[in-house]
Structure formats: C-alpha cells, structure tokens
A and B are shown apart, each in its own frame.
Chain A
Amino acid sequence: AQSVTQPDIHITVSEGASLELRCNYSYGATPYLFWYVQSPGQGLQLLLKYFSGDTLVQGIKGFEAEFKRSQSSFNLRKPSVHWSDAAEYFCAVVPLTGNQFYFGTGTSLTVIP
C-alpha cells in the first residue's frame, strides 16, 4: 500500500546538537516531497521541497533534507538545533500521477536547554 512513514513519534535533543528526522515513502515512482513544521497552535509552514535534481535540498531556518532513491527516504536534518525548533514536523508527498497530498503522522521535537 502507498504510504508515508515517520518512524519516530517523538525525539528529544539538546540545544546545539544535530538533528535528523526520518521519512520513508512507498510509491511506485519518486513522488514530490515536502517537509512542514507546525508550532503549537499554528498552521503548517513549509520548510523545504524536492521535485527533482540535486538530492540535497536547502530550506528555511537552517534545515536541509536529503533524498535517497535507493532507500525511498527524505530525511530532514539540522546541524545545530535551537530551542525555537521545538515543534511538530511532518513529511508529505504528492504522487506523480495524482493530485492528493499525503502526510506522515508527524514527529514531535523537544529541545532541552
């Protein structure tokens, strides 16, 4: 079945530490890929997107993501986490042949001072 998986429900990191949030998808062909962030009480904000080309994508707020076709993954990374990064992070895909957005179940990030 087609799906978007975020294996980590919750992650805790110390401020200044590096971060990697995982996202795996299962679709026939590489879909369009997105990462969004949701701060408490807010809507979702786009961090970055991947359609094609360079597999390392830079986004806002110092985030980047790497697309790995062989692993069907699109993991989000940040070299040094700030307390303000505490939020919920969602991976989303749009299959090449469709018009629907599919979201993962989200990863909640806690940042320890």
Chain B
Amino acid sequence: EAQVTQNPRYLITVTGKKLTVTCSQNMNHEYMSWYRQDPGLGLRQIYYSMNVEVTDKGDVPEGYKVSRKEKRNFPLILESPSPNQTSLYFCASSLGTERQPQHFGDGTRLSIL
C-alpha cells in the first residue's frame, strides 16, 4: 500500500530535549516536505526537499532541521524544542515534479512543555 508513515504519532516532551520525527514514503517520490498545522493558520511549510541531499526552507523553518540522505526518508529534527513548537505536524511526498499533488501522512501531534 502506498503510504507516508510518520513516527511517533503523539509525543509529549519538555523544553530543550532534542527530538526527531521520522517520515518515510514507499512511493519512490522525489519531493518531500514538512508542514505544521495550527488553529486559524492552516498548514505552513517548514522545509521541503526536491531530491536526495537537496533541501530548502519553507515559510517557518526557524527551530527546525531536516536531512535527506535517502530518497524514502525525510526526518524532522527539533534540536532544542520550545513551547511555541507545540503543533500538529504533517509529512508529505509527491512525484518528481514539484507541482504534483502531495500525499500526506497521518500527522504527529507534538506537545512541548
């Protein structure tokens, strides 16, 4: 089954404790991206990657890191999480051309205390 898998689905942690949210897709997609969803703000793109070893900042990259060492994986790293990063996060992927519609994971709800 074609899917985008995020882990964990839920996480409660404390300020400053490094965390990684993993994202993996099995569709051989070149384009992958991370979003955060906040009430009243919709989805905002954090980072995106057009291929292995190629990453670019989205609208809200501050406080986040990403890496794309393999085509299928695109982890989101919070080196020193803060409460304002409490949010619902989505990973998505799409075919080689970046304007193809994105397939979304089921989301990761992060709470930073």
Contacts and interface: CB of A to CB of B under 8 A. Distances in A.
A43 B42 contact: no
A101 B107 contact: no
Interface in A32-66: 32, 34, 36, 41-46, 49, 51
A100 B105 contact: no
Given A44-B90, A44-B104, A105-B42, 8 more contacts: A32-B99, A42-B106, A43-B4, A43-B90, A44-B43, A100-B48, A100-B59, A105-B40
A91 to B, nearest CB: 9
20 contacts: A9-B40, A32-B99, A36-B104, A43-B90, A43-B106, A44-B43, A44-B92, A45-B104, A46-B101, A90-B42, A94-B98, A99-B31, A99-B48, A99-B98, A100-B59, A101-B33, A101-B45, A104-B42, A105-B40, A105-B41
B104 A94 contact: no
A51 B42 contact: no
Contacts, number: 57
A41 to B, nearest CB: 8
Interface residue SS majority, chain B: strand
A103 interface: yes
B44 to A, nearest CB: 7
Interface string A79-113: 00000000000101010000111111110000000
A44 B40 CA distance: 16
Nearest to A91: B42
Contacts of A51: 99
Given A49-B101, A94-B98, A103 B90 contact: no
Contacts of A90: 42-43
A94 B42 contact: no
B101 A34 contact: yes
A104 B31 CA distance: 21
Interface string B82-113: 00000000101000001101111111000000
